[in-house]
Structure 1
Amino acid sequence: MNKAEDLANNIESSATQIVVENDVNNKVNYLDYLPDEAKEILKSLANKWENVLDANELEVIPLKGAMTNEVFQIKWQTTEGEMSRKVLVRIYGEGTDIFFDRENEIRTFAFISKNGQGPRLLGRFAQGRLEEFIRARTLSAPDMRDPSISALIASKMKEFHDLDMPGSKNVYLWERLRDWLIEARRLLSPEEVEMFHLNTMDKEISLLEKELSITPQRIGFCHNDLQYGNIMLDEVTNSVTIIDYEYASYNPVAYDIANHFSEMAANYHTETPHILDYSKYPDLEERQRFVHTYLSSSGEQPSDNEVQKLLDEIEKYTLASHLLWGLWGIVSEHVNKIDFDYKEYAKQRFQEYWSRKNHLLSPNGSSHDNVIDGEEALESIVNKKSAKSTPISRKLKKFFGLGLFRSKH
């Protein structure tokens, strides 16, 4: 996530990254940023390519946009003159092992690559890996609302969900939520735990798990972080590639789509990348179109009931998405050094959860078009408590900014 939207449509990229234009112009020597082990692997790779003029003459260009890693584009001059050979180097961020199992992610990466779903894995070193550089552009926030691009994403998502990944096929969402809650409580002060309402979050997770698991659901291999920076568009072949699989696991496909829809509220290429605007959440027509394309991409036409059932499930799973990424924001604030207001981001995700919870979990709660005040949602919780808890409720409302702004659905 970063601040370079104007560059997004004009350069080749292979992840959530955009070239840091100012640094390139200033000729900063980013070769020094790479571990020695990575340099040796890069030179070894280049020596195997006949069209590289000099394997030792590599240009290192930082790419911005990743939320947890440092990413660099590596270029060599080739015998074709203006053409260059490129790869991607990803250096893992400190503390990110809290969020996912790196070895499991590598296995996922390798499997997806072998199945033609993503870039090839070219090499590994202690602090990171080398990847194939995809000659396509990273999507921008407005791209996700483009009907033709959205249709490509829907079809590719179905293809991704249908991957038969080796290993456990159990739903991982609820375990991940509980694990991240434990980490968030560990990292926060008692006052912050109280302010973020984390003392009762176990009950919220259990409630969601119970409510959302009542009916049989489609389970698939989910990306779980399908924001626009993790989708590449090849405009020559008119195809998309899903990249970055750190959070990938088996889950209800409704959750993955819900998370994708929720990401449309974000634009990480602004001066305030942490600010979310839920007026940009897709309207009912957009959601119906996406779900119909998703279900019909395998060749069979879904019934209206099938479309509506999945739509209803998706709306409810937005609640799980808000909780998960709210907890992610809290933990990231303490372990990540990237310039991003993680805590404010977390507050907004939690506010959206409280704003939507009562409506979406009601018997007829399937629409995302009614505005529910976050303060009213919180008041319904506060009113169940004794008068003794009133000062806490006031602090909560002040902390979340409830009563100051509404959800913009």
Structure 2
Amino acid sequence: MTVTTNGFVEGCLPEELKKVLRSVASELGDVIDDMDSIQVIPLKGAMTNEVYQINWPLNDKRDLVRKVLVRIYGEGVELFFNRDNEVQTFECISKHGQGPRLLGRFAEGRVEEFIHARTLSAADLRDPDVSALIASKLREFQNLEMPGSKNVVLWDRMRNWLKEARTLCTHKDAKEFRLDALEEEICVLEKELSRDDQAIGFCHNDLQYGNIMMDEETRLITIIDYEYSSYNPIAYDIANHFCEMTANYHTETPHILDFGAYPGLEERKRFVHNYLSSGGDQPNDAEINQLVEDAEKYTLANHLLWGLWGIISGYVNDIDFDYKEYARQRFRQYWLRKPALLGSDCICSE
């Protein structure tokens, strides 16, 4: 077995995973005679899970291989979402033909279909043609009919994560991140941003470039990784994507965000136009401007939520990523942008 990662102790796959891989191979019409023939390749860029490409030979000459993807769940992720619900979402999206198939499960992770497409890069998000494809696919994704409640999850999720952060934080960190003030801030945002006429859809909620794949030949876009997916305002999901344009997770300092790279007004309008027009109708300027404005305000909710994620992850996850510095940047941006987007006089009223 060729192993190019230290993720599996001493180059050994867990026995349960070996059993699952043999079962998956059998269901695909393959036979794994020798576990030493398996090749394990780490895939970089994940910030919560460890992800590996696993290959095994399809014939004696070993010039053809089967590829699958193995996802090892990260430490502490149960604080962010319910894993059983996430797997149910994964299977439902797969049935809609929107993502990879679930091939097998084991205690520490799962085996997924390997998507024969490339993961996008940070630069791809700024390519107007690729961005238009993402906008269209995002609208298609948000229109999926998913089982369960259609209620907005954002505000309860934010409050739950704040509770977890308070439980985990030292007094010093709680003071630095102003955790005592955040309950009121969440209240402010919910009051100011919630409208009866806002569109609600099944949102991905983590539309960073690493969760978007593209087939180079067909130009088809596939959105992957649904841990945080839920019903939310579509403007929140679009805002999340805009915020992710400030990140490049494949540098020496992946936790550092470049808010100077946040898309300008015309770029945001172009994305929203492509998003709205992908349904077949031509949106008017008022519709475009309204969604752009709504998305801009929802960047504040994104900064608070992912700031809390950074705090919690810093305590429970050992992945080589400076989560607390990431959190500092998100909170700093929240306090910087709030006066311009909501006004400095917003208060929480019962």
Tell me the TM-score range normalised by the shorter chain: over 0.9
CA apart distance, 1:49 = 3.9
The CA distance in 1 between the partners of 2:137 and 2:195, in whole Å, is: 28
**Bigger mean CA offset, 38-47 vs 55-64:** 55-64
Out of 5, 15, 28, the residue aligned to residue 36 of structure 1 is 15
1:66 aligned onto 2:46: yes
1:337 aligned onto 2:337: no
Q: How does 1:20-169 map to 2 (within 5 A)?
A: 24=4, 32-50=11-29, 54=33, 56=35, 57-79=37-59, 82-169=63-150
Q: Using a 3 Å threshold, how does the CA distance of structure 1 residues 194 and 29 change in structure 2: closer, same or farther?
A: closer
The CA distance in 1 between the partners of 2:7 and 2:319, in whole Å, is: 19
Q: TM-score, normalised by structure 1?
A: 0.80
**Bigger mean CA offset, 118-127 vs 44-53:** 44-53
The CA distance in 2 between the partners of 1:189 and 1:107, in whole Å, is: 35
The CA distance in 2 between the partners of 1:55 and 1:169, in whole Å, is: 47
**Bigger mean CA offset, 174-183 vs 40-49:** 40-49
The CA distance in 2 between the partners of 1:329 and 1:48, in whole Å, is: 39
Q: Using a 3 Å threshold, how does the CA distance of structure 1 residues 30 and 45 change in structure 2: closer, same or farther?
A: farther
**Bigger mean CA offset, 39-48 vs 121-130:** 39-48
Q: How does 1:262-273 map to 2 (within 5 A)?
A: 262-273=243-254
Q: Using a 3 Å threshold, how does the CA distance of structure 1 residues 41 and 195 change in structure 2: closer, same or farther?
A: same
User: Who is 1:278 aligned against?
Assistant: 259
CA apart distance, 1:191 = 2.6
CA apart distance, 1:347 = 0.4
Following superposition, which runs of at least 4 residues in structure 1 exceed 6 angstroms of deviation?
26-31
Q: Using a 3 Å threshold, how does the CA distance of structure 1 residues 31 and 58 change in structure 2: closer, same or farther?
A: farther
Q: Using a 3 Å threshold, how does the CA distance of structure 1 residues 171 and 33 change in structure 2: closer, same or farther?
A: farther
Contact persistence 2:22–2:32 (CA under 8 A): no
Any idea what the Cα deviations from partners look like across 1:12-68, whole Å, max 9, x if unmatched? xxxxxxxxx9x73x9998784532111111012223444667464322222222111
Tell me the SS of whatever aligns to 1:90: strand
Q: Using a 3 Å threshold, how does the CA distance of structure 1 residues 112 and 55 change in structure 2: closer, same or farther?
A: farther
CA RMSD of aligned residues (A): 2.1
Find the structure with the greater CA-based Rg. Answer: 1
The CA distance in 2 between the partners of 1:261 and 1:173, in whole Å, is: 17
Tell me the SS of whatever aligns to 2:337: helix
May I ask how many residue pairs the two structures share in their alignment? 343
Q: 1:343 is aligned with what amino acid?
A: K
CA apart distance, 1:94 = 1.6
Q: Using a 3 Å threshold, how does the CA distance of structure 1 residues 48 and 199 change in structure 2: closer, same or farther?
A: closer
CA apart distance, 1:317 = 0.1
Q: Using a 3 Å threshold, how does the CA distance of structure 1 residues 29 and 304 change in structure 2: closer, same or farther?
A: closer
1:324 aligned onto 2:305: yes
Contact persistence 1:226–1:263 (CA under 8 A): yes
Gaps of at least 5 residues in structure 2 are none
Gaps of at least 5 residues in structure 1 are 1-20, 363-376, 382-409
Tell me the SS of whatever aligns to 2:245: helix
The CA distance in 2 between the partners of 1:330 and 1:230, in whole Å, is: 22
